[in-house]
Amino acid sequence: MKLTKTQLKQLIKEVISEAWDDNDDEWLAPDEMRKSPRSKMMGTSPIAGQEDPSDTEGGYTMSQESGEEDPRTVDDMTSFYQENPRYWYVAEDHYRDMAQGKDPEGIRSEMYPDWSDEDFAEVIRAVSPGEEY
């Protein structure tokens, strides 16, 4: 039996819909999520031997492990962005927001919890010296 692209797309939509319709209104805790039928459908980690960070207390995070020195000093970040201007292009708006006391997308509280508004302004002035800030 041959299927057209349209028929195949419809079949895939139906299968996905059936798989996800069970328990749609149910909120699961992280531990329950890993043990749920949906999680089992995903299979094991594609990278053999990779530790599952969700098994550790706190789950996924970008913050430093306790006891590790935080590499995000004003001088280090200034050097990083001066050496990698394409990353500054992406981060500049966030730095400007953080220099005004904002926390865009939770970045400040997660990655720069000890930084003051002036720390962000200092990076901006160093990386974009021709601009007033």
Q: What's the pLDDT at 72?
A: 82
Q: Is residue 21 part of a domain?
A: yes
Q: What's the pLDDT at 12?
A: 80
Q: Is residue 112 part of a domain?
A: yes
Q: What's the Cα-to-Cα distance from 17 to each of 2, 23, 90, 120, rounded to whole Å?
A: 23, 12, 37, 46
Q: What's the pLDDT at 35?
A: 56
Q: Please give the model's pTM, rounded to 2 decimal places.
A: 0.49
Residue 82: both structure tokens together:
């001066």
Q: Is residue 132 part of a domain?
A: no
Q: What's the pLDDT at 59?
A: 46
Q: How many CB atoms lie within 10 A of CB 9?
A: 11
Q: How many domains does the chain have?
A: 2
Structural domain boundaries enclosing 110 = 74-127
Looking at the fold, whether 81 and 122 belong to one and the same domain comes out as: yes
Q: What's the pLDDT at 117?
A: 95
Q: What's the pLDDT at 120?
A: 94
Extract the residue ranges of the chain whose pLDDT is less than 70: 1, 18-71, 132-133
CB-side neighbour CA atoms (13 Å) of 83: 6
